[in-house]
């Protein structure tokens, strides 16, 4: 096979498991945020379709975080497939060394590094600001005096409204519940068979007219007070104007690489702030680190040929997660001015690449007796011993006494 044909074949093999791992990792990272957004939207009575819009704004950030893990899974899956089908032996016999096979993955890492820089350095600042703007509008926007069935609506000024059934206008309510916060710890709870919301735009007031209900006041010094009523009207000011959101750039994460560099140089007249340098170099480190993923994943896949693939993937994930967490810690220290961002972050990156290069160049072939191979032998022995001990313990417990 020609050189380009082999490289294309390796990339095709890697594409499917990498995309699958990327989708799973991205979904797992987004799940917690989506649940939080559902809680927020439910309390504000906003349409649930807004969850999708806000979630999409989070994709660039979490996609950048998921890339290294998915890339490592794709490489290990390719090397495992080649090894199990003896294709790796055939390629080595044809003069393709492990290092040469890994070269195409390093090239792919360079492309993914550029993609990561575009995500973190240019797309994420805008998407993050858009997410914060929508969230601010949702939290601080004026209520439109409409209620959705089965939801608790914060109407402002300590008033919460809920109804079991609501007409299409959202303002004629059946089986209404109202909670009013009063001075101190006092509260007034009202329930009614029916209610009508009447907003007045000119006077900027809102009236809630309740019919056939009960009002219970609790937390009063004289004790609980319960009163039945045929008709009761609650009135309060109704804010029609929401608070405007700040311009983009209030956080260093909302600045592009070009804007961060301008802040670092002091081109905009702003005083120097270590946060800008920490964010700038942190993004470069995350992009550059993708070049090192093949240096770690290829030796792991080859050295652990006789071990299950999940062990190799787990070890690769442990290395990448450790590097990511340490990078985040050093970036935080650099943002506080405790550590120089260039020395701290790039020094950490140098250690990461030194480790990767050592693994890569000490694994010349499948038969190389490398430190990684010994590590997998120790892991396999430890697992077998632990499994054997558990089986023996279980057998002893099941024996009759």
Residue 42: the pLDDT is 63
Q: Answer left, alpha or beta for residue 38, where phi above 0 means left and psi between -120 and 50 means alpha.
A: alpha
Among residues 237, 268, 287, which one ends one of the domains?
237
Q: Is 320 helix (H, G, I), strand (E, B) or coil?
A: helix
Residue at a domain's end among 178, 212, 237: 237
Q: Whole-angstrom Cα distance, residue 203 to residue 238?
A: 9
Cα 183 from Cα 158, distance rounded (Å): 10
Per-residue confidence (pLDDT) for residue 325, from 0 to 100: 94
Q: Is residue 399 part of a domain?
A: no
Give the end of a domain, one of 237, 266, 293: 237
Evaluate whether residue 37 is within a structural domain.
yes
Residues 233 and 264 in one domain: no
Q: What pLDDT does residue 150 have?
A: 79
Within this chain, do residues 193 and 50 fall inside the same structural domain, yes or no? no
- pLDDT of 219: 73
Is the same domain home to 339 and 261? yes
Which DSSP state fits 304?
T
Asked, for residue 144, whether it belongs to a domain, the answer is no
Q: Which domain holds residue 167?
A: 153-237
Query: 334 and 186 in one domain?
Result: no
Domain for residue 355, yes or no? yes
Q: Are residues 132 and 187 in the same domain?
A: no
261 and 233, same structural domain?
A: no
Q: What is the rounded CA–CA span in Å between residue 275 and residue 270?
A: 13
- How many CA atoms within 13 Å lie on the side-chain side of 197? 27
Residue 181 lies in a domain: yes
pLDDT in tens, 218-248: 876 666 778 888 888 887 765 555 566 788 8
The pTM assigned to this predicted structure is: 0.72
Give a yes or no: residue 209 inside a domain.
yes
Name residues of the chain where pLDDT drops below 70: 1-3, 40-48, 139-145, 201, 203-204, 220-223, 237-244, 268-271, 304-307, 364-401
Q: What is the pLDDT of residue 1?
A: 43
Count how many domains the chain has.
2
DSSP category for residue 97: -
Question: Both 228 and 259 in a single domain?
Answer: no
Q: Is residue 397 part of a domain?
A: no
| Residue 312: predicted pLDDT | 80
**Sheet with 172-181: strands ordered across:** 153-156, 159-166, 172-181, 187-200, 205-218, 225-237
Residue 398 located in a structural domain: no
Clarify whether residues 230 and 164 are in a common domain.
yes
188 and 323 together in one domain: no
Residues 269 and 203 in one domain: no
My answer on whether 379 and 270 are in the same domain is yes
- Which residues lie closer than 8 Å to 124 by C-beta, 6 or more apart? 60, 61, 64, 253
Strand runs (DSSP E) across 182-224, as ranges? 187-200, 205-218
The pLDDT, as a whole number, for residue 349 is: 95
Same domain, 347 and 379: yes
pLDDT for residue 43:
58
């Amino acid at each position: 096979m020609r050189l380009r044909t082999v490289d294309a074949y390796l990339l095709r093999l890697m594409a499917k498991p990498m995309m699958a791992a990327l989708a799973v990792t991205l979904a797992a990272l987004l799940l917690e945020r989506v649940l939080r957004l559902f809680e927020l939207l439910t309390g504000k009575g906003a349409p649930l379709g807004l969850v999708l819009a806000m979630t999409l704004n989070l994709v660039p950030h979490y996609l950048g975080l998921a890339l290294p893990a998915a890339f490592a899974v794709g490489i290990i899956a390719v090397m495992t497939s080649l090894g199990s089908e003896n294709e790796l032996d055939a390629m080595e016999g044809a003069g393709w060394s492990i290092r040469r096979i890994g070269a195409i993955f390093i090239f792919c890492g360079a492309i993914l590094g550029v993609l990561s820089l575009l995500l973190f350095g240019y797309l994420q600042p805008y998407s993050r600001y858009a997410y914060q703007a929508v969230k601010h509008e949702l939290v601080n926007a004026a209520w439109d005096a409409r209620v959705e069935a089965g939801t608790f609506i914060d109407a402002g000024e300590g008033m919460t409204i809920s109804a079991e059934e609501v007409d299409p206008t959202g303002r004629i309510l059946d089986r209404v519940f109202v909670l009013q916060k009063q001075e101190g710890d006092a509260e007034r709870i009202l329930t009614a068979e029916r209610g009508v919301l009447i907003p007045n735009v000119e006077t900027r007031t809102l009236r809630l007219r309740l019919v056939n209900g009960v009002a219970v006041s609790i937390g009063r010094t004289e004790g609980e007070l319960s009163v039945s009523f045929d008709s009761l009207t609650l009135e309060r000011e109704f804010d029609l104007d929401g608070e405007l959101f700040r311009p983009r750039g209030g956080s260093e994460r909302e600045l592009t690489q070009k804007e961060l560099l301008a802040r670092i140089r002091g081109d905009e007249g702003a005083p120097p702030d270590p946060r800008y340098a920490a964010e700038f170099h942190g993004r470069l480190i995350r992009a550059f680190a993708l070049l090192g993923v093949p240096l770690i994943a290829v030796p792991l896949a080859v050295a652990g040929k006789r071990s299950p693939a999940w062990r190799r993937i787990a070890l690769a994930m442990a290395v990448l997660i450790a590097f990511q967490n340490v990078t985040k810690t050093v970036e935080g220290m650099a943002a506080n001015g405790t550590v120089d961002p260039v020395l701290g972050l790039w020094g950490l990156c140098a250690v990461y690449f030194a480790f990767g290069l050592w693994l890569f160049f000490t694994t010349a072939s499948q038969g190389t007796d490398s430190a990684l191979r010994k590590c997998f032998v120790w892991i396999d022995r430890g697992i077998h011993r632990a499994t054997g001990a558990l089986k023996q313990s279980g057998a002893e417990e099941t024996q009759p006494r």
